[in-house]
Amino acid sequence: MTLHPNSAEARDVAYHLHGYTNARAHQQTGPVVIERGEGAYVYDSEGNRYFEGMAGLWSTAVGFSERRLAQAAARQMEKLPYYHSFGGRSHGPAIDLAEKLIELAPVPMSKVFFTNSGSEANDTVLKLLWYRSNAMGQPHRKKVISRLRGYHGVTIASASMTGLPINHASFDLPIANVLHTGCPHHYREGLEGESEEQFATRLADDLEAMIQAEGPETVMAFIAEPVMGAGGVVVPPATYWDKIQQVLNRHDILLIADEVICGFGRTGQMFGSQTYGMKPDILVMSKQLTSTYFPLSAFMINARVFEPIADESNRIGVLGHGFTGAGHPVGAAIALENLAIIQERDLVANSAEVGGYLQAELRTLADHPLVGEVRGVALIAGIELVLDKAAKTAAETPGKLGGYAAARLFEHGVISRAAVDTITLCPPLIVTRSDIDGLLVALRKSLDETLVEFG
In whole angstroms, what is the distance from residue 130 CA to residue 150 CA? 21
- Residue 220 domain-assigned? yes
Average of pLDDT values for 327-355?
98
Give the mean pLDDT of 340-360: 98
Residues 268 and 187 in one domain: yes
Whole-number pLDDT of residue 455: 81
pLDDT value of position 5: 81
Write the CATH number for 111. 3.40.640.10
pLDDT at 4: 79
pLDDT at residue 352, rounded to an integer: 98
Q: pLDDT, tens digit, for every residue of 24-56? A: 999 999 999 999 999 999 999 999 999 999 999
- List, for residues 192-240, the tens digit of each pLDDT value: 999 999 999 999 999 999 999 999 999 999 999 999 999 999 999 999 9
**Residue 16 resides in a domain:** no
List C-alpha distances in Å: 375 to 118, 298, 410: 24, 29, 21
Q: How far apart are CA 241 and CA 109, in angstroms?
A: 20
Looking at the fold, whether 337 and 309 belong to one and the same domain comes out as: yes
Q: Are residues 191 and 297 in the same domain?
A: yes
325 and 336 co-located in one domain: yes
Q: Residue 55's domain is classified under what CATH number?
A: 3.90.1150.10
Q: 301: closest CA among 112, 157, 171, 132?
A: 112
Task: Give the pLDDT of residue 67.
Answer: 98
Contacts of residue 346, Cβ cutoff 8 Å, sequence gap at least 6: none
Mean model confidence pLDDT for the chain: 97
Spatial contact of 395 and 387, defined as CB atoms under 8 Å apart: yes
Query: For residue 267, what pLDDT is reported?
Result: 98
Does any domain span residue 3?
A: no
DSSP state of 388: B
> Is pLDDT at 274 greater than 70 in this prediction?
yes
Q: In this structure, are residues 181 and 210 in contact, taking their beta carbons and an 8 Å threshold?
A: yes
For 285-300, write each residue's pLDDT tens digit: 999 999 999 999 999 9
Question: Looking at 301, 318, 344, which one is the last position of a domain?
Answer: 344
- Largest CA-CA distance found in the chain, in angstroms, rounded: 68
Same domain, 50 and 127: no
Residues 297, 165: one domain? yes
Domain count, the chain: 2
Asked whether the predicted pLDDT for residue 1 surpasses 70, the reply is no
% of the chain at pLDDT higher than 70: 100
Domain span holding position 176? 69-344
* Statement to judge: residues 82 and 48 lie in one domain: no
Last residue of a domain, one of 298, 325, 344: 344
